[in-house]
Structure 1
Amino acid sequence: MHDTALLIGRFEPVHSGHLALLQEALRQAPQVIVVVGSAWQARSPKNPFTWQEREAMLKGALPEADRARVQVLPVRDYYNEAVWVQAVRLGVAEHTAPGARIALVGHFKDATSSYLRAFPAWTLIDLPRQGSMDATTIRDAYFGATPATVGTALAPLAGEIPASTLAMLEQFAQTPHYPALQQEWRMLRGYREAWAAAPYPPVFVTVDAVLRCQDQVLLIRRAHAPGKGQLAVPGGFIEQRETVWQSCLRELVEETHCNLPEATLRAALQSVAVFDHPDRSQRGRTITHAHYFDLGDAPFPAVKADDDAALVQWTRIDQLAGLEEQFFEDHFHMLDHFFAITGLRTQA
């Protein structure tokens, strides 16, 4: 018998396979901690629900007695396994007694499940696949429907979806988030279909400009899907005859009209970090080169939104933590790398 059993997942949304693992965790220990990943991410077709909404789906699928034994631990995506493992361990330690016997319940679905081996101090209970359902199938059926036809679209899958999840999906379809996410879902499907016939999956190269001035950083609001309306640092795709440096300067000018001389930016360049986590972008495998500039106490350069930016703004670095849920893809964690916002050391 263990003191605490852990279950780790994104639960986007909760389905019968998740519940089978959760029920095994409840059999293994009197206390269960469910680590809900991708917490504080901006809504997207892959991560449409807040961690609180996923907690409600999980607990709503349990009898009241079991519900009282389950605690949800939200953990953000750090796009760095070592830092993420550190965050999970610290979170679990806060909710367990020293020396507690801990079991980690899971299933090796594919390469994305390798994190299960990252906790050697905990007993790993590796279960076979629980049912045939996966969350991607549910999301595709869901976003391919309309608010009026959600029930019909999900009917063939309803046997694998808890009632609490079905109710949540029906309610969510009546919110403004649903059509916005549908638009992104359709855009991303079209984007991936455009290169589906390539002999090999492509790897995209992008650049980003992290421009600091007077302890503020230059941000944009994205004008188009994916991430329409979300915060990001200026950036974009490299062009065929450019270096990453040239692309960075071009994107900075195109999106913000920040026309600082190249020599000024050369002098202000502090570092270049590569962000290459396989899951950092839903558009496909995308590797970015983030250039960090610090203008010190110089006057703010004049800026104006253009191209892919609907809005451009200077934002105090000490306000970034409160804006985490508004950031596109991994841009919050890009800023975390340079500014140490979360307190855990991140490495690109």
Structure 2
Amino acid sequence: MTRKTVAVVVGRWQLVHQGQEALFQAAFGLADEVIAVLGSSYKARDPRNPFVHEERRQMLMANLTEAQRQRLHVLPVRDYFDDRRWNAAVTLGVRALAGEEADIVLVGHRKDHTSYYLNNFPRWRQQLVDRLADVDATAMRQVFFEAEDPDAALTVMTPYVSAPVRAWLQAWSRLPEYARRKAEHAAVASYRKKYTAVAYMTGDAVVTVGDHVLLVRRKGPFGEDLWAVPGGHLDRGEKLVACAIRELIEETRFPLLPASILAALHGVATFEDPLRSARGRLITMAHHFRFPAMGTLPEVVGCDDVKEARWFHRDELAAMESRLFEDHFVILDHFLGLIED
């Protein structure tokens, strides 16, 4: 009996261009079915990820024939910033869609250092496709979000982006979300001109009281209205744990003295993936301050550069992934075990 062949294509597709379309056409030519592994799913929008995973699925589908749509499966996968967990999630998801007996072929092209994932699945056959020159999603996003007129931008993008995707983007640009993404894109560009070092350090505070976790709702321009753990940039001459405690008090008016907060330190972890922040290379050391359950939760209030400070029950956090800033869901998961592997 002939085994079914299933092609796997991995990407974020944060603005689908013709180079990515070529990968899918190659995949359909090789296999009975195609699985699109959609990276960076479930997270909140940011300048690197302006489109949620359902919008990216729509862009991918716009380029396919009806017959191809019937042969395509979309597998959303979150960012773990941990290759072992990401590889396991992809492998498990692909096997669930393809079946245990399927012949799996990984289709891709070697673009740059971000293509290292192609070596992460040695049990799958690999088919490399030549990359189309001068087609890059980052450049396309810059054109789309930096132009004064999105329609003019889409005209400029004609050689690189198919007509169905341009039509989808044109309709999307009429929504309020386009203006928000455009403003944040500009804010990041300004931020990077100001902060030009190779990397910067921040300190974050994960504060738990019994089963409750303290989060803050951000002001703009980055991640406005998204929830985050308290934290911020390291001051000159400051220890990282002192930075985390200072930011905690400044942003929430947490009603304990720094020494009492420090005494509750339960764990520390560094988060330094180069892509964890759209603003640039920000390395953070997150500190878990764990307090026992109390009859009444400490009173907090949003101050400084946050709109609100609030306690959430641990059980609420799993459903908040798309409303958390940058990689803060990953930080919370590290200390609290939110994701079941």
Q: Is the 8 A contact 1:107 1:128 kept in 2?
A: yes
Give yes or no for the alignment of 1:278 onto 2:274.
yes
Is 1:302 paired with 2:295? no
What is the 5 A alignment of 1:242-253?
A: 242-253=238-249
Alignment partner for residue 340 of structure 2, among 340, 343, 347? 343
Match of 1:223 among 219, 225, 239: 219
Corresponding letter in the other structure for 1:89: T
Task: Report matched runs for 1:14-163 at 5 Å.
Answer: 14-146=16-148, 149-163=149-163
CA positional deviation for 1:74: 0.4
Alpha-carbon distance in structure 1 between the residues aligned to 2:233 and 2:4: 50
Q: Which amino acid aligns with 1:177?
A: E
Identity %: 40
Number of aligned residues:
338
The question of whether the paired residues in 2 share the 8 Å contact of 1:8 and 1:37 is answered with: yes
TM-score scaled to structure 1, two decimals? Answer: 0.94
User: SS state of the match for residue 333, structure 1?
Assistant: helix
Amino acid at match of 2:311: W
Q: Does 1:171 align with 2:171?
A: yes
Amino acid at match of 1:342: I
2:322 counterpart residue number:
325
Determine helix, strand or coil for the equivalent of 1:300.
coil
Give the letter aligned to residue 237 of structure 2.
R
Greater Cα offset, 257-266 or 308-317? 257-266
Alpha-carbon displacement from aligned partner over 1:255-279 (angstroms, at most 9, x marks no partner)? 0000312332233211001111110
- Quote the Cα distance in structure 2 between the aligned partners of 1:181 and 1:262: 38
Cα displacement (A) at 1:231: 0.7
Alignment pair present for 1:208 and 2:208: no
Amino acid across the alignment from 1:287: I
- Note the alpha carbon deviations across 1:62-93, whole angstroms, 9 max, x for none: 11111110110000111111111111011111
- 8 Å CA contact retained: 1:15, 1:160: yes
Q: Is the 8 A contact 1:217 1:314 kept in 2?
A: yes
Q: Give the unaligned 5+ runs of structure 2.
A: none
Moved more, 20-29 or 149-158: 149-158
Contact map agreement 1:207 1:238 (CA 8 A) in 2: yes
User: Is the contact between residue 35 and residue 72 of structure 2 (CA under 8 Å) also seen in structure 1?
Assistant: yes
1:95 match: secondary structure: helix
Contact 2:216 2:306 in 1 (8 A): yes
Instruction: Output the CA distance in 2 between the equivalents of 1:270 and 1:99.
Output: 46
Residue 207 of structure 1, CA deviation: 0.6
CA-atom RMSD, angstroms? Answer: 1.3
Does the 8 Å CA contact 2:34/2:72 hold for their aligned counterparts? Answer: yes
Please state whether the residue corresponding to 2:47 is helix, strand or coil: coil
TM-score calculated relative to the size of structure 2: 0.96
Q: What corresponds to 1:259 in structure 2? A: 255
**What residue identity is the alignment partner of 1:248?**
A
> 1:2 Cα shift?
6.2
Q: Secondary structure at the match of 1:62?
A: coil
For structure 1, list consecutive stretches of 5 or more residues without a partner in the other structure: none
Tell me how far 1:10 sits from its aligned partner. 0.4
Question: Contact (CA 8 Å) 1:2, 1:103: kept in 2 or not?
Answer: no
Distance 1:72 1:194 in 2: 39
2:230 maps to which residue?
Answer: 234
SS of the counterpart of 1:136?
Answer: helix
Q: 2:8 aligns with which of 3, 6, 9?
A: 6
Q: 1:126, 1:207 → 2: CA distance?
A: 41
Q: Quick one: distance in 2 between partners of 1:195 and 1:233?
A: 22
- The answer to whether the Cα contact below 8 Å between 1:138 and 1:154 also exists between their aligned partners in 2 is no
Cα drift, residue 230 of structure 1: 0.7
Check the 8 A contact 1:12/1:47 in 2, yes or no: yes
Task: Determine helix, strand or coil for the equivalent of 2:98.
Answer: coil
